[in-house]
Amino acid sequence: MRAVRVHGLRDIRIDEVPEPGKPGPSEILVAPRWGGLCGTDVKEYVGPVGSVPDQPHPLTGACKPLILGHEFSAHVVSVGSAIANVRPGDRVAVMPLHYCGTCPLCLRGSFILCPNKAWLGLSDRWGGFGDLAMVQSYQVTKLGSLTDEQGAVVEPAAVSLNAVLRGGVASGDTVLIVGCGPIGSLAILASLAAGAARIYVFEPNPKRAAIALQLGAALNLEGESTQRVKQIRDLTNGLGVDVAIDCAGKAGTVNLCIECVRPGGIVSVPSVHPGPMEIDIRSVTRKPVSIVGSLGYTQEAWDRTVALIAAGRYPVERVVSSRTPRDEIVAGGFEALVDPGRGELKVLVEVNRAPRAA
């Protein structure tokens, strides 16, 4: 079969690789339909690398060259003997998290914290940019009324919703979102779904800032850091926002959130920062402010994401900026996202045009 594999920096190839074979009792063979390109994929293309292992992963044995694609929808091709939740022909969204199921954290149900975890399309043998992929029974969710394209956006949408839930965004809240890439843009939609009354953003890229306003943000902050903080305080009667979400992961973005949130407010951090940073701990103590990390998503956040999309309250398809066939994934996907002047947000890749028979 054909699959998009990462071999190294700026070395993405469409290779011929062996098919997965027949599913085991608790496995499901799927044919990916649409897949999204993520910032993590782009980092593996241009650097810094680190999400795709150079040495065999302890849980899956996978390493470079490795099939990419961890945000994807698919059609079920065949199922193992113990599978009862789906059958061949079903359309599904695929949750890429692959956990061991035996460590203390898995036994507590905290699967996202599994120290042995792997991810389809990043540290597993299979990924969403291959003709076929073998997945675990717990990794598939029927799409129901969702389109295949919406299904391909469930994964990043769940990341954003989890950050909003961790931040405790509630009806009538004011929210600041720093960084309006795919996760930040989806966080706008997730905050609106949670009942936020007003959302402010800070996004220096003018094209992405314009998209944020189209998605429902009230204002993009401008000027130096002190000016941004003053804008927020002027807009919130001197208090600050109820919740601030750092989706940028840049130097100073957490501190900007701390300065802009009201006394007793919450800062949610789903972004992956490249290294240690200085935090104004005095403000955290004296305001006081709660800072919560948000790693991936829980099963609850995943299920809520699917339910909200189905109800029309989380229109995730609005963040899709372009589509490209798999054969053009480098020029139409990776290179398009690398160029900030293009203003791309979420690029979807069409992997299979039609359902594949068992």
Residues in a beta bridge with 3: 15, 130
Bond preceding residue 58 cis, omega within 30 of 0: no
Average pLDDT value for residue range 58-68: 97
Q: Decide which of 3.40.190.10, 3.30.70.1380, 3.40.50.2300, 3.40.50.720 is the CATH code for 168-293.
A: 3.40.50.720
Average pLDDT value for residue range 276-292: 93
Domain boundaries, the chain: 2-156+297-350, 168-293
Average pLDDT value for residue range 269-291: 92
pLDDT at 356 over 70: no
- Check residue 355 and give its pLDDT: 67
What span, in angstroms and rounded, lies between the C-alpha atoms of 237 and 217?
19
pLDDT tens figures, 290-323? 999 999 999 999 999 999 999 999 999 999 999 9
Range in 54-63, 206-215, 271-280, 322-331 with the lowest mean pLDDT: 271-280
- Mean pLDDT value across the chain: 96
Q: What are phi and psi of 16, to 5 degrees?
A: -90, 125
- Check residue 37 and give its pLDDT: 98
Amino acid, single-letter form, for residue 22: K
What span, in angstroms and rounded, lies between the C-alpha atoms of 315 and 301?
16
Report the share of the chain in percent with pLDDT over 70: 99
Q: Could you tell me the pLDDT band of residue 353, with boundaries at 50, 70 and 90? A: confident
Domain 2-156+297-350 has CATH 3.90.180.10: yes
Query: Under a CB-based contact definition with an 8 Å cutoff, are residues 92 and 74 in contact?
Result: yes
What span, in angstroms and rounded, lies between the C-alpha atoms of 64 and 79?
28
pLDDT at 9 over 80: yes
- Check residue 303 and give its pLDDT: 98
Long-range CB contacts (within 8 A, 24+) of 211-219: 211/180, 211/185, 211/319, 211/321, 211/343, 211/345, 212/177, 212/180, 212/184, 212/185, 212/188, 214/318, 215/185, 215/188, 215/189, 215/318, 215/319, 216/188, 216/189, 216/192, 217/177, 217/180, 217/188
- Check residue 275 and give its pLDDT: 86
Amino acid, single-letter form, for residue 213: L
- Check residue 68 and give its pLDDT: 98
pLDDT tens figures, 77-116? 999 999 999 999 999 999 999 999 999 999 999 999 999 9
pLDDT tens figures, 223-232? 998 999 999 9
Report the share of the chain in percent with pLDDT over 90: 94
- Check residue 173 and give its pLDDT: 98
In what side-by-side order are the strands of the sheet with 66-67? 11-16, 2-8, 66-67
Q: Could you tell me the pLDDT band of residue 358, with boundaries at 50, 70 and 90? A: low
What span, in angstroms and rounded, lies between the C-alpha atoms of 314 and 311?
8
Q: Could you tell me the pLDDT band of residue 274, with boundaries at 50, 70 and 90? A: confident
Q: Could you tell me the pLDDT band of residue 328, with boundaries at 50, 70 and 90? A: very high
Residue 117, SS3 per DSSP: coil
The whole-model pTM stands at: 0.96
What span, in angstroms and rounded, lies between the C-alpha atoms of 329 and 5?
11
- Check residue 357 and give its pLDDT: 55
Look up residue 130 and give its DSSP letter: B
- Residues whose CB falls within 8 Å of the CB of residue 282, separated by 6 or more in sequence, listed in order: none
Same fold across 2-156+297-350 and 168-293: no
Amino acid, single-letter form, for residue 11: D
